[in-house]
Amino acid sequence: GQQLNQSPQSMFIQEGEDVSMNCTSSSIFNTWLWYKQDPGEGPVLLIALYKAGELTSNGRLTAQFGITRKDSFLNISASIPSDVGIYFCAGLFGKIIFGKGTRLHILP
């Protein structure tokens, strides 16, 4: 079945650093979604991407829909403590498939 490979699995960064993570698949998706899960909460939708090559921003977050439709990228600029959490990519082709998450930790 369809699977999403999300990397890195974990990131440890200093406050103020930029962050990049990505999601790849062997299958084509029509829509890519990026979610964030804060500790003790459910995932919350950050950005939705609907067209190959599309670049969309939400504050300090920027996500791109890969041109091959098999990948997507999320960048966070100038990280702050509240960026800590798990970031999930998700691809939509009939139903939503979730990646295994990237755990973002910010070092004091």
Here the tokens at position 55 are 């670049």
Judged by CB, which is closer to other proteins: 29, or 73? Answer: 29
Residue 44 or 78: the one with the smaller Cβ distance to other proteins is: 44
Say how far apart CA 62 and CA 76 lie, in whole Å: 7
**Of 33, 63, 76, 89, the one binding other proteins by CB under 8 A:** 33
Interface residues with other proteins (CB under 8 A) are 31, 33, 35, 37, 40-45, 48, 50, 86, 88, 90, 92, 95-96, 98, 100-101, 103
